[in-house]
A and B are shown apart, each in its own frame.
Chain A
């Protein structure tokens, strides 16, 4: 049933999206509410990009509703190593995405809803959007103590953050999106958003940590669907349009031509990691070898996600100096990535004298190096 209606809606959507003058009976020129049928963070972010780049928002504003399966989303100018526990993300198979808007890092899962308000640059107004959300929440549950701060956060009970905001402005259009915690996994949230990486120095936008709470904790009868519905209702009222949510399939190239490329771009290493502003790593590896602990000083400069400069200070003769030199040379220019480092290290070992002692020392050094990434 859902598929049928989404197909019908998608066809009508393609009319709306491409011919600004074409009308759709229940949505007059005031606004449009669309909801993604996908839970893939890259696909959904690609929809935002698509609307931002291709839609004419002169006479029509758009509200986009979406939810993602577990993912960490960092802001445009942030450093993922600084913001989250990448090792844990890889282990738990949690996706990492970089969005195009500014702001800090958030954790998404199906217990969190995302709202994107699309307008022309002139009509860009974050406070109004957040007030709309608060109004919707209060209409749904009048006893909720929710309000908007001047940092564009929504707080519950004056203390707990339930929503974070970010925005993107282009040449003619703009969007403001925010999260809303309904029933997210707070345990995973706090563990993935804690970075274990030490010695990082960077000018990337830092996140401001805050205590969070789920709306579900305040009122267990609340679900994500109810929140989405309430917000859509309020938006429809304020824009004088019918309360009708059009479903959108982010994988449909006919409705959203070019969407596949946008989705692919968001997944590339060059975008997710490569867009990290230049940073440096300066730390000391404490390697436990046999009965002693070795202090190895490591200094690296990382630009565009690649190691620009690399310095490893090993105890003399612990490893053949020529081999260390080769390692440093190989790492220079490579991605600041555990997989590449491991592969390079394994390759270099092939052209060494075959010695078990050497091999175990080498593996130890490389394991410790990859722990930094």
Chain B
């Protein structure tokens, strides 16, 4: 209602205050004394000194703790400018104007005074006087709260730029759901509203959509009806995409990955994949799970994979070796410190179980539990993360079948385990049966490992897992 009125008066630059009252009678009850329009007296690029307003409780000075903007930044009305602190109270100072910050009067940790200039803002007058008319504003020096249009008993907050956008697109602000602070209507909200009307595809709004303020039972039947009535009309409006590229430095976990992978690049990888029938192992684990539980340990498949790998490494120790920088010497590591790739919130980490060659399956399970809980809490120590000689990556817990894992230097081999799938297979009698199949993808350093060695190791590992009883013969 208000917008239409203004449009019809767009030729007039000064609107007398009495027209304001006509818009909505109930506005009178909530109106404040002073109500002026910013007139065309505001010329282009006028610098206004925004003073620190009264904070209450008779406080006269505060400490500036954080600046949210810097000189040269554009601000909109109600954007946060800085955070000041006084005697256990933290105060967010917001801008009263749209414009560009030209000067900050204080540095961090300096004392700022109430009533004295905080920042200088160059008022954005380039948008033209017309947009100013949409806003009912109190004069800059007033301490009164800004008044806003009252439509249907709700106060709608929106900056002049947003109001103009709504006006240009024939949108009633009362119909738009505001997602900004104090339910303020932002540009994104107008765009989202537009998208719904026209069926145009816009990128998802960065802020969560707010559900209309009525109990669910009332809105649900109403919504589908409305949707049915509205026929999306394709409009050749330019689609405004407000997303921006974001560049940030590579640090922390990602930096670690970059270093590891750059070193891994120097290793000539070859791959070898196979399929393992885990039907018997699945059954065995089911039987042993409760036993481990009584001892306080969660038993997954990994302890079996790890122990079987160690047994295999006893026969093919070159897979547990390390090649020196100059590729002159190969060191056969005595300990089987088998690393287990873990996905944590921060990223990929690879702690290892030490000396698997002398550990029982239960001990491995117990150690894995410890590493997993420390890993998810981000509390793994250097000892747990260093000294690995061979790695297994159980990517199958997330998904996938075959992979091409990257060797983690100074190791020479790595295995990636896909997910366990139930697939039909033929048994010895030529009958089809339900098999629990998992795929393994090995990668090895081709400078010292050849395909035959990898294949034989894989076959041995596979035989242990397909027939767990055979592990018993070779367990140390």
Contact = CB atoms under 8 A, between A and B. Distances in A.
A362 to B, nearest CB: 8
B33 interface: no
Interface in A1-50: 11, 14-15, 17-19, 21
B409 interface: yes
A101 B382 contact: no
A171 B92 contact: yes
B423 interface: no
B89 A102 contact: yes
Contact of B387 (A76, A121, A359): A359
B438 to A, nearest CB: 28
Contacts of A359: 386-387
Interface stretch (B254-262, B297-305, B457-465): B254-262
Contacts of A102: 85-90
B88 A76 contact: no
Interface stretch (A155-163, A221-229, A243-251, A339-347): A339-347
A332 B91 CA distance: 32
Contacts, number: 182
Interface string B376-404: 01111111011100000000000000000
A76 B324 contact: no
Contact of B90 (A21, A90, A101, A122): A101
Interface in A66-125: 75-77, 90, 93, 100-104, 121-122, 124-125
B296 interface: no
Nearest to B145: A172
Interface in B181-208: 181-183, 207-208
B472 interface: no
Interface string B320-338: 0010110000010000000
Q: Which of B90, B324, B387, B410 has the largest number of chain A CB atoms within 10 A?
A: B90
B153 A346 contact: no
A233 interface: no
Contacts of B176: none
Interface string A351-363: 1011000010011
A290 interface: no
A147 interface: no
B251 to A, nearest CB: 4
Contacts of A14: 213-215
B125 interface: no
A19 B259 contact: no
A330 interface: yes
Contacts of B368: none
A339 B182 contact: no
Interface in B18-76: 55-57, 65-66
A124 B86 CA distance: 14
B89 A122 contact: no
Q: Which of A171, A354, A370 has the largest number of chain B CB atoms within 10 A?
A: A171
B205 to A, nearest CB: 12
Contacts of B274: none
B55 A169 contact: yes
B244 to A, nearest CB: 18
A77 B85 contact: yes
Q: Which of A21, A165, A258, A350 has the largest number of chain B CB atoms within 10 A?
A: A350
B385 A21 contact: no
B14 interface: no
A280 interface: no
A104 B87 CA distance: 10
List of 5 A-B pairs having minimum Cβ-Cβ separation, nearest first: A18-B213, A346-B385, A103-B88, A102-B90, A167-B89
